[in-house]
Amino acid sequence: MDAGVISSLLDHPLSDGLLLLDRGGRCLVANPAARRRGLDRLVELHAPSLSLLYARLLDGEHAIACELPGPDAPLYGRLRAISVDGAGPIAFSLSVSLSEDVEDWLEAAEAGGHALWVWDVRHDQLRGSATWHGLVGHRDGAPLSFEEMCRRVHPEDRGRMREAIGAYLTGRESSYLCEYRCLQPAAGWRWVRDSGRIIARDAQRAPLKVAGTLTVIDDHKRLEQRLREQRRLVEDTQRLAGMSSWSWAPAAGLVHSAPELRQLLGVGDGGSLRVWLRRIPRAQFPVLRTSWRCLRECAKPAHFDLVVDSVAGPAHLQIWASLSGDEDEGGLPARVLAQVQDVTRQRHADAEAHRRGDLLRRVAELGRIGGCEVDAATRRLHWTGECAGLHGREGESLALDELLRHYTTESREILQAAMSRTAGGAPTQTIELCFYRPDGAQVWTQAVVDYESGDGRPARWLVLFRDISRERAASERIERLAHFDALTGLPNRTRLRQDIETALVANASAYQALLLLDVAGFGGINEAHGHAAGDGVLKAIATRLHMLVDAGDLFGRVGADEFVVLLQQGESRHDVASSAQRIVAGLSDPVPVGGEILRFGISAGIAIRPAGVGFDELLRAAGVALHGARQGGRNRVEFYSPDAWRLARRRLDVEHALRGALEHEEFTLAYQPLVDIARRSVSGVEALLRWQHPELGVCPPDEFIGIAEATGDIAAIGDWVLREACRQAAAWEAAGIAFGRMSINVSAVQLRDTAFASRVLAACAEAGWPPARLELELTESALLHDTEALRSCFDMLVGAGVALAIDDFGTGFSSLSYLSRFPVGRLKIDRSFISELGGSRRAVEVARAIIHLGKALRMQVLAEGVESMEDERLLLESGCDEVQGYLYSRPLPPREMARWLLAHHQAVAGATARGPRRRTSQTRGPSALAPR
């Protein structure tokens, strides 16, 4: 009988013995017949003899006949493995024949809910015992058809039941066995195990009759669930204890282990034993030989310590090893199993403990990990190395108040109250405290506080600490995963919403405000120093919030670099502003990470809570205020105002409108000529994006380009600009309008796409426009990250003849390094420098310096925003190559730009026909370059 039958028969009066054993052969439970005959004691007495049979079951055998010595004659039984969800045997069942009375078995089967049935396949009639009729919910006792029986099966199980019986009847399976839910009028859906065999066939070997049993296995299912839960508990316990599994199959010569152990030793999975032996110093080989001898000769599990060479240096391991399975022909065991625990830190701590003085011996007597003495007069503490390490600090002494800054407000109050009580004569106080290390790690300790005076020594408190972080973490793990941020340990948005909504209802009459905090420059920290540094900053901010936020106020992390604080202690707008400024000032201090000092700012938005407003409305209003604070610079605090809301609403409207702008053909291109200042000729045309929305009106590029980059829409918009500009350029060329190159602005977001260069060349090919007459204008920020993908992109573009230019040079992160690293051929001086040429000598010198820099790097230089002849003269004298601006033409639609180009060519042709003339500083050049 299988495990389900055993679980349901244990409590019934069978005459034969039935026992349930664990994986080690210990009896978990036995039925009355087995207990009367003492089979539970007999099995454990002969456990060594049965161990080989257990090993065979663990290796995959399902059932094994066995023999036990009885008082009068041998007892014959059968061992079976019990598995759950195919995860391998978790227990064994042992049935021992004590009687040959078949009627007893049948009566026991009926009494235990194991119903009997017979199916006449040819006439499709199912008959069964009274118990079977009761189980399938059929009262009148008449035969059932197969389809009628199927209708009593749960809809989710019918297909599986049909497949199982069909596979057996057609010979694809050797037996019929299926578990499903069956409907009973009184009990509802109940789990049953249905099994059977063909008992009659016709001359053609077709099945005529099938007989079987139907067994209720509700208890078995519950047992399986309990076993699964126990297995998960064991696995969690192993992880918390730092345990790792290890196994070696000598026949295959392969070793498998847990990832944590492989990472510790720097080895791969599935390697040979020789690879692992290389990690063991020769001095440790005698330990291995002794343990191997214990396993082979004594047939007992071995427990030993081993020092190995890990990736980080010598590591101390505790190992529990045992053999599994029968020996092969060569005398080797089928498998060696082991549990390995890394106790390196524990051993180092033990070694350190032996070098401590009187205080450490006092701590050792009390069985604690770390301790400190606090002088009652000076409130200065002296601690052991373990206590200092527990707090993430170094040194032998520290002011108590300095240490308490890292404790939570509640823990500070608890510790100080315990110190006051003991100083007043109270007995030793045992309390639990929470603090944060400088690296942001949260630590829970159990502290024992005592007060000592007399003996000629100064009065002092003795505080002994025991780290209970793991104990609390084990009980709070599920709660924290669902409601707390994994990085900082702060409440997440879900938990914070619950807590704040509760506080808003409970303190409806209080003056409450929601403070939304944002780390200014956080993205730059991630980009420049890596995400690990960014994580360190977030942890430090979380630590500081615990120290800065008043008791009773709520706070948590709601975004990547956003934190929320519910201020409830103030009584006016001034109080809220003061608390916010204090928190911002405390959070914005630099953070040391990885040997570097990282600096950043904090922006804060505040929303005062009106009556009847919930968390989501407050968060939205605070977000609007935060947006205004970001615009004003770092470390600013802004209150919510309707004007800020309208600006945020405008941004949101623009963001939503962008999603359909391409499909609705709302974008257009305007074109502005690029003029060769020396030859007075058009050297190119720049394509400029314009957007006219039917409801929002004209949206300037400065407003929507940044939003498009943030939402990712810039990629599709940029591709459209490329295709449309190339198409227009090819159309002008076909019409005989010469204008040089087509210049197009490119976003830094587009350059991050590895397929960008391919799409540029595809747009040229589609329009029939030569890549050699295409120029891409890049912002300085686009070149900040020198990546292999960016270099490959530029190599592909330049190799095809596409020119690269730096747009708005001098306004971004200007650096000579990227000018030398990347194949840039042209610098475009930003219009902000050109607009002051006529009234500022310094502006002239700056522009001249940029021009000379470009010349020194053998680059062409173009000046944007030229609006006067004086600007043109100064740029010409400074050696500028090209100019662009309203002095020549404003950005024009395609048709007007074509007419302008034609007029310019006619003017140039007329000037050429009249012959050269002498230019003076007042000469503007061809009239075709006058503003239109």
| Structure tokens, 44 | 């454990």
pLDDT over 70 (residue 929): no
For residue 300, give every residue at least 6 positions away whose Cβ sits within 8 Å of its Cβ, in sequence order, or none.
294
User: Worst-scoring range by mean pLDDT, 101-105, 487-491, 779-783, 921-925?
Assistant: 921-925
Q: 65 in helix, strand or coil?
A: strand
Contact 829, 809 (CB under 8 A): yes
Find the mean pLDDT for residues 787-791: 81
Confidence of residue 913 (pLDDT cuts 50, 70, 90): low
Tell me how far apart the alpha carbons of residues 159 and 666 are, in angstroms, rounded to a whole number: 55
- C-alpha to C-alpha distance for 636 and 911, rounded to whole angstroms: 60
Lowest mean pLDDT, pick from 542-551, 808-817, 902-911? 808-817
Closest CA to 748 of 669, 828, 806, 817: 806
> What is the residue whose two structure tokens read 């009759």?
209
> Strands 513-520, 601-608: parallel, antiparallel or unpaired by DSSP?
antiparallel
The bridge status of strand 114-120 relative to strand 207-216 is antiparallel
Closest CA to 280 of 311, 258, 306: 306
Question: Reduced to 3 states, what is the DSSP secondary structure of residue 64?
Answer: strand
Average pLDDT of the segment spanning 616-621: 89
Determine the average pLDDT of the residues in 282-291: 87
Among the listed ranges 54-58, 455-459, 461-465, which one has the minimum average pLDDT value? 455-459
The answer, yes or no, to whether residue 622 has pLDDT greater than 50, is yes
Range in 1-5, 324-328, 593-597, 857-861 the model is least confident about: 1-5
Angle between helices 714-734 and 894-914 (to 10 degrees): 40
Contact, 683 vs 631, CB < 8 A? no
Q: What is the pLDDT of residue 336?
A: 87
- Asked if pLDDT for residue 799 goes beyond 80, the answer is yes
User: What integer pLDDT is reported at residue 111 of this predicted model?
Assistant: 62
Please list the alpha-helical segments (H only) found in 217-318.
218-240, 259-265, 273-277, 285-297
- CB distance 79 to 92 below 8 Å: yes
CA 539/CA 543 separation, integer angstroms: 6
Give the largest Cα separation in the chain, rounded: 136
> Mean pLDDT across the stretch 189-211?
86
The C-alpha R_g of the chain, in whole angstroms, comes to 41
Instruction: Give the number of other Cβ atoms within 10 Å of residue 327's Cβ.
Output: 13
Q: How confident is the model at residue 813 (pLDDT cuts 50, 70, 90)?
A: low
296: pLDDT strictly greater than 80: no
Beta strands in 731-881 (DSSP E): 741-746, 774-778, 803-809, 826-829, 860-863
How do residues 701-755 score in pLDDT, each as one tens digit? 988 998 898 888 999 999 999 999 999 999 999 999 989 999 999 988 888 888 9
Does residue 257 carry a pLDDT above 80? yes
Encoded tokens for 646: 């309208």
pLDDT average, residue stretch 848-871: 90
| pLDDT at residue 917 is higher than 60 | no
For residue 153, what is the DSSP state?
A: B
Containing 642, the helix (H) or strand (E) segment is helix 642-661
Mean pLDDT of the chain: 84
State the pLDDT at residue 3: 45
pLDDT at 915: 59
What is the pLDDT, as a whole number, of residue 528?
87
Examine the pLDDT at 109 and tell me if it is beyond 80: no
Percent of the chain with pLDDT over 70: 88
> Could you tell me how far CA 14 lies from the centroid of its own chain?
55
188: helix, strand or coil: strand
Other CB atoms within 10 A of residue 895 CB: 8
Helices (H) and strands (E) in the chain, counts: 34, 38
Is residue 567 within 8 Å of residue 579, measured between CB atoms? yes
448/466 Cα distance (integer angstroms): 9
pLDDT tens for each residue of 372-422: 899 998 999 888 878 888 888 877 678 888 889 899 999 999 999 999 999
Q: Mean pLDDT check: name the lowest of 2-16, 68-82, 261-275, 515-529.
A: 2-16
Contacts of 857 (CB under 8 A, 6+ apart): 819, 820
Pairwise CA distance, residues 310 & 244, whole Å = 15
Residue 386 to residues 69, 367, 608: CA-CA distances in angstroms? 59, 13, 46
Residues 32, 39: contact at Cβ < 8 Å?
no
Structure-block tokens of residue 233: 């508990």
pLDDT level of residue 473 (50, 70, 90 thresholds): confident
d(CA 355, CA 351): 7
User: Taking residues 674-685, what's their average pLDDT?
Assistant: 92
pLDDT value at 686 more than 60 = yes
Q: Give the pLDDT of residue 753.
A: 87
Higher pLDDT, 920 or 678: 678
Residue 920: predicted pLDDT = 39
Q: How many CB atoms lie within 10 A of CB 713?
A: 18
pLDDT value of position 365: 45
Token output for 138: 């059929």
CB < 8 Å & 24+ apart, contacts of 161-167: 161/194
- pLDDT in the model for residue 107: 59
**pLDDT higher at 251 or 242:** 251
259 vs 196, higher pLDDT: 196
Of the candidates 429, 428, 434, which has an alpha carbon nearest to the alpha carbon of residue 410?
A: 434
- Report the alpha-carbon distance of residue 265 to residue 30 in Å, rounded: 46
What's residue 932's pLDDT?
A: 33
Kindly indicate the confidence band of residue 543, based on its pLDDT and cuts at 50, 70 and 90: very high
Give the pLDDT confidence of 631-649 residue by residue, as tens digits.
877 889 999 887 666 776 7
Tokens at 710, concatenated: 């943030």
Tokens matching residue 121: 């396949």
The Cα 835–Cα 839 span in angstroms is: 9
pLDDT digits (tens, 9 = 90+) for 481-523: 778 888 998 999 999 999 999 999 888 878 999 999 999 888 8
Residue 71 pLDDT > 50: yes
Q: What letter does residue 771 receive in the DSSP assignment?
A: G
CA distance 264 to 851: 58
More confident residue, 866 or 632: 866
Higher pLDDT, 855 or 358: 855
Q: Which two tokens stand for residue 568?
A: 């409830």
What pLDDT is recorded for position 13?
56
Confidence of residue 299 (pLDDT cuts 50, 70, 90): confident
pLDDT of 907 reads: 83
What does the pLDDT read at residue 1?
40
β-strand pairing of 89-96 with 17-21: antiparallel
Q: What is the mean pLDDT of residues 876-885?
A: 92
Burial (Cβ within 10 Å: 0-12, 13-18, ≥19) of residue 479: exposed
Q: Are 700 and 692 in contact (CB under 8 A)?
A: no
pLDDT of amino acid 14 = 62
Please list, in sequence order, all residues whose beta carbon lies within 8 angstroms of the beta carbon of residue 89, skipping any fewer than 6 positions away: 23, 57, 58, 81, 82, 83
